[in-house]
């Protein structure tokens, strides 16, 4: 039985009061641009004129992918577990960003094909040692899909119980741009070739090979075409676990910071099950992976940053966090015209 969630859109009744507060801060109306839009969104999520951000955490879900056996990534599968050990040493990109911006980094083993040192703080949610090769069969069984969604939700509940109300999401898994591209194609109708890019560094022949493999995989699909079946058939373990985590975060009215191409496809998949999840999503950046801009445009969302990032791990989401913090500080720390005894100006 797939876990169900109770996600409702934020009550719009507070919008006029939030707008009045934002418009009466000591600045020309609209002069803080995107910060004002963010402040409105976060105020609505938290249903308050004075929102706060507490204990931000970056949840990094990791797993291996059967489709990687087809040579769709320039990196060998072993890089997944090797990079996780680098996370533990504090030497990866996401480590310095989490340190800089005050995030707790939480590493979750969703399905890494390696015996990881869980005693060092990794959360063991391993469903299986890597997904199956979806060129030939479904990546996950229905039971595995159910467990991934359940475990992702459990991790978020734990963060919420610790006092977190804002989460960023990241991933580690060699080959995971391939299932992301297939999800994007099947959920949006955008031609598959426009959804496929270089991943971690494929050259032009490598990209052509990747397109051939994924085209054959889509042609071989024999499922019922439902959103859940597409998620199950082509999804990576860490991606499906992220879907469950995002849905749980939305149910708990937490702010969801969406990272790059893979995480945008996860929120896309989540929205196919519960469209309301998008009200809780802040899209952090436009990544350098081919297809990401097309997907953001299809979702009608504007990312906060465009820095040419394609690292994953939640790096772009954590990079964008100071802007979210600034939006909240604007609401809480700027004075009003009336209180400051300043004539309102435009």
From 70, 144, 171, 313, the catalytic residue: 313
b/e per residue 116-149 (b: at least 16 CB within 10 A):
beeeeebbebbbbebbbbbbeebbbeeebbbbbb
In which element (H, E) is residue 220 found? helix 204-220
Q: By C-alpha distance, which of 309, 305, 312, 255 is closest to 285? A: 305
In which element (H, E) is residue 318 found? helix 315-333
Residue 313 known to be catalytic? yes
SS3 89: helix
SS3 166: strand
Q: Which residues pair with 281 in a beta bridge?
A: 256
Largest pairwise CA distance in the chain: 70
Asked if 177 and 197 touch (Cβ cutoff 8 Å), the reply is yes
Query: Which are the catalytic amino acids?
Result: 313
């Amino acid at each position: 039985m797939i876990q169900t969630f109770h996600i409702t859109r934020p009550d719009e009744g507070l919008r006029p009061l939030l707008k009045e507060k934002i418009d009466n801060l000591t600045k020309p109306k609209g002069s803080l641009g995107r910060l004002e839009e963010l402040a409105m969104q976060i105020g609505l999520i938290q249903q308050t004129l004075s929102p706060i951000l507490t204990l931000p955490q970056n949840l990094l879900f990791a797993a291996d992918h059967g489709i990687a056996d087809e040579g769709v990534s320039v990196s060998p599968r072993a890089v997944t577990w090797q990079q996780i050990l680098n996370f533990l040493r504090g030497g990866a990109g996401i480590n310095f960003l989490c340190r800089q911006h005050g995030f707790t980094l939480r590493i979750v083993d969703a399905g890494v094909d390696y015996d990881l040192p869980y005693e060092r703080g990794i959360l063991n949610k391993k469903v299986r040692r890597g997904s199956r090769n979806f060129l030939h069969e479904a990546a996950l069984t229905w039971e595995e899909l159910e467990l991934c969604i359940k475990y992702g939700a459990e991790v978020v509940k734990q963060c919420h119980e610790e006092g977190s109300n804002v989460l960023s999401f990241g991933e580690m898994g060699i080959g995971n741009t391939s299932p992301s591209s297939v999800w994007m194609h099947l959920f949006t109708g955008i031609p598959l070739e426009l959804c496929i890019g270089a991943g971690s560094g494929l050259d032009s022949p490598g990209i052509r090979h990747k397109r051939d493999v994924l085209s054959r995989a889509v042609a071989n699909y024999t499922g019922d075409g439902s959103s859940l079946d597409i998620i199950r058939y082509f999804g990576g373990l860490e991606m499906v676990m992220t879907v469950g985590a995002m849905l749980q975060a939305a149910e708990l009215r937490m702010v969801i910071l969406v990272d790059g191409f893979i995480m945008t496809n996860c929120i896309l998949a989540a929205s196919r099950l519960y469209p309301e999840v998008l009200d809780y999503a802040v899209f952090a950046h436009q990544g350098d992976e081919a297809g990401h801009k097309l997907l953001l445009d299809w979702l009608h969302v504007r990312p906060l940053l465009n820095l040419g990032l394609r690292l994953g791990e939640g790096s772009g989401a954590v990079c964008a966090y100071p802007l979210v913090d600034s939006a909240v500080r604007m609401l809480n720390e700027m004075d009003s015209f009336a209180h400051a005894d300043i004539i309102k100006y435009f």
